Amino acid sequence: MAEITRSEAAQIAEHCHACGVPHLAAGFLGEGLSLDEVKARVSAVAAVRQMSTIARWKEPSIPADLGTNMLAEGHSVPEIRAELFERIVAAEEQTSIASHVPAASGNAGHAAFQDSMRRTLQASGITPADEVEA
| 86-124 residue pLDDT tens | 999 888 877 766 555 555 555 667 677 778 888 877 777
User: Is this model's pTM higher than 0.75 or not?
Assistant: no
Mean pLDDT by 10 residues, the chain (134 residues): 83 91 88 90 85 92 90 87 91 68 60 78 74 54
Side-chain half-sphere exposure of 45, counting CA atoms within 13 A: 22
Give the count of beta carbons closer than 10 Å to the beta carbon of residue 121. Answer: 14
User: In this structure, are residues 4 and 29 in contact, taking their beta carbons and an 8 Å threshold?
Assistant: yes
Distance CA 37, CA 43 (A): 10
SS (H, E, C) 63-123: CCCHHHHHHHCCCCHHHHHHHHHHHHHHHHHHCCHHHCCCCCCCCHHHHHHHHHHHHHHHH
